[in-house]
């Protein structure tokens, strides 16, 4: 029976195998991501493919190395010990199989615990997952072979040294990961506003609508529709008649919007997630507001097809001047390619009649291969929406991944690029696409990289803050502030400043009240309604 190599050598072989497994895994995930783009008709020249592969080795591989090493350490230690217990037999088989199981278990654990449904995009499908697992198997097999070769050799034959060179070469393109310190924000000058809390104790409030008499309706993500007085006192903690809501992760009750003829018909609209974790949709219902709840509630739209997970539902609502209704959707995170498929609602913006039917002049209404409700497509997760009456334009923003948050002017039938063109990268550091712009897609009017995680958005049209007149006020969840953006009549945009950062709260929604004050909803389990007025 051959001797086992000593631990220093074993550690060397382990590191070599790990580096090669990480390098191969990075290359495989890049090719699967590019293949998904090619399946949508995107042309990817060989030089772009090579550059993308090298960029992912630099930016994706370091994080993947952390994930990969967890399962690899456990699996290879167990495989070596088990092989030793079996008298040195089956080492290659045990190391190979153990590496596969170790990576699978790591990916399962990460996908279960991390907010994104599937952290590594290439593993969304069976083929991509199998290919990534195969690279782990190769690494495990190599580790076993290196140990066996060393144990059987009377003296080193140079193979391990060459393997070290190859292993390091897999990551040679990866520069040292340097964490850029966040730039300290400049000290804010004394603001000419004051912030007062109107209401507290709301559970993840999502949207706000003002009733004609000054009362407020607040949606809470778990599925409650709260009625507040103009002073912020709770009149009804949970109005009855709200549709059944799927509440999990980002899913829940979203926007509330009054009918343009509310004073006559008392109708309002609610967007929400419906279904289950395994099959859910963004849904839209309308009902009539009575004294203590909603009556005559009916679902008038349900996004198709169903999707799994609890991420990226969109859910913002707005009226156009012709009394058609706009509803924004998300890409479901794992379904990003469907944002380019007109036969799917996912990753699109809808235009509907007030009863949920399809307007005759929608851009794709005459196409058999398209959903007739679609107004625009190529979106990731649209959660900010306003109609600019002064310039007669629909303005939306959407979340990018790590960077690539966008403000867009929405026009009928246009393709806004996701996931073919974006300035953002996946949360793993991997490129979603090698293209920031692509022919046939609309570039954003403004982009934030790194991401600010935009949420609600309002256009200021009140009288209390003349300097903000006509500007967009964009909630920022990550930055814990509101960005003031000036969007000129010709469509050029300027990020002017951050507001309310001293609150250090995640801002979920921004509204301009009939009194000209700015109203903020804070996103937490103990959320608040805040009122911003000029300083006294």
- Domains contained in the chain, CATH given: 7-170 (no CATH), 203-447 (2.120.10.30)
Spatial distance between the Cα atoms of 207 and 521, rounded to a whole number of angstroms: 7
For 293-344, the pLDDT digits (tens) are 999 999 999 999 999 999 999 999 999 999 999 999 999 999 999 999 999 9
Give the number of other CB atoms < 10 A from CB of residue 166. Answer: 14
Helix (H, G, I), strand (E, B) or coil at 200: strand
- The pair of structure tokens assigned to 349 is 């913006």
Instruction: Find the catalytic residue in 204, 281, 312, 379.
Output: 312
Specify whether 312 is catalytic: yes
Please report, to the nearest 10 degrees, the dihedral formed by the alpha carbons of residues 183, 188, 189, 194 taken in order. Answer: 170
pLDDT score of 148: 86
pLDDT score of 189: 41
pLDDT score of 153: 62
Cα dist from 118 to 6, 114, 335, 435, whole Å: 39, 8, 10, 22
pLDDT score of 174: 42
Spatial distance between the Cα atoms of 436 and 319, rounded to a whole number of angstroms: 31
What percentage of the chain has pLDDT greater than the value 90? 88
pLDDT score of 367: 97
Spatial distance between the Cα atoms of 235 and 237, rounded to a whole number of angstroms: 7
Which residue is it, tokens 């778990």? 222
Q: Is 14 left (phi over 0), alpha (psi -120 to 50) or beta?
A: alpha
- Below-50 pLDDT ranges, the chain: 1, 154-189
Which residue is it, tokens 């790194």? 450
* Angle (CA) 461 467 470, round 5°: 35
Spatial distance between the Cα atoms of 35 and 121, rounded to a whole number of angstroms: 12
pLDDT score of 536: 84
What are φ and ψ of residue 350, in 5° steps?
A: -100, 150
pLDDT score of 114: 86
Please report, to the nearest 10 degrees, the dihedral formed by the alpha carbons of residues 165, 170, 172, 176 taken in order. Answer: -120
């Amino acid at each position: 029976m051959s001797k086992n190599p000593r631990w220093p050598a074993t550690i060397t072989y382990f590191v070599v195998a790990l580096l090669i497994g990480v390098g191969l895994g990075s290359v495989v995930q890049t090719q699967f991501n590019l293949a998904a783009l090619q399946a949508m008709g995107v042309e990817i020249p060989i030089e772009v493919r090579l550059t993308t592969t090298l960029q992912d080795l630099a930016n994706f591989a370091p994080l993947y190395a952390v994930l990969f090493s967890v399962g690899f350490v456990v699996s290879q230690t167990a495989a070596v010990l088990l092989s030793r217990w079996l008298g040195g037999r089956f080492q290659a088989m045990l190391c190979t199989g153990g590496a596969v199981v170790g990576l699978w278990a790591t990916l399962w654990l990460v996908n279960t615990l991390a907010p994104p449904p599937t952290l590594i995009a290439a593993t969304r499908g069976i083929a991509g997952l199998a290919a990534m697992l195969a690279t782990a198997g190769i690494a495990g097999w190599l580790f076993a072979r290196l140990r066996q070769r060393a144990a059987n050799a009377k003296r080193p034959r140079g193979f391990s040294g060459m393997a070290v060179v190859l292993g390091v070469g897999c990551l040679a393109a990866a520069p040292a990961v340097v964490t850029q310190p966040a730039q300290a924000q400049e000290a804010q000058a004394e603001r000419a506003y004051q912030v007062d809390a109107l209401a507290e104790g709301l559970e993840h409030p999502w949207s706000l609508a003002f009733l004609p008499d000054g009362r407020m309706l607040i949606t809470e993500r778990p599925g409650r529709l709260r009625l507040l007085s103009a002073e912020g006192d709770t009149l009804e903690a949970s109005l009855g008649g709200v549709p059944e809501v799927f509440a999990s992760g980002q899913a829940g009750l979203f926007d509330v919007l009054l009918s343009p003829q509310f004073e006559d018909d008392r109708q309002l609209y609610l967007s929400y997630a419906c279904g289950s974790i395994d099959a859910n949709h963004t849904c839209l219902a309308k009902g009539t507001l009575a004294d203590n709840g909603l009556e005559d509630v009916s679902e008038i739209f349900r996004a198709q097809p169903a999707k799994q997970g609890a991420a990226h539902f969109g859910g913002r609502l707005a009226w156009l001047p012709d009394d058609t209704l706009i509803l924004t959707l998300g890409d479901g995170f794992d379904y990003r390619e469907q944002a380019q498929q007109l036969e799917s609602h996912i990753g699109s913006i809808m235009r509907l009649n007030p009863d949920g039917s399809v307007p005759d002049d929608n851009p794709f209404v005459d196409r058999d291969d398209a959903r007739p409700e679609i107004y625009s497509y190529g979106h990731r997760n649209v959660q900010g929406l306003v109609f600019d009456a002064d310039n007669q334009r629909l303005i939306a923003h959407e979340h990018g991944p790590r960077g690539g948050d966008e403000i867009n002017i929405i026009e009928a039938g246009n393709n806004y690029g996701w996931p073919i063109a974006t300035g953002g990268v996946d949360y793993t550091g991997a490129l979603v696409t090698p293209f920031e712009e692509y022919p046939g897609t609309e570039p954003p009017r403004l982009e934030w990289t790194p991401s600010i995680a935009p949420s609600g958005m309002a256009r200021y049209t009140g009288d209390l803050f003349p300097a903000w007149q006509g500007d967009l006020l964009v909630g920022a969840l990550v930055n814990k502030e509101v960005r003031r953006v000036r969007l000129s009549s010709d469509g050029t945009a300027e990020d002017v400043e951050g507001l309310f950062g001293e609150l250090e709260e995640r801002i979920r929604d921004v509204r301009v009240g009939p009194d000209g004050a700015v109203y903020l909803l804070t996103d937490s389990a103990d959320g608040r309604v805040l009122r911003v007025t000029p300083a006294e």
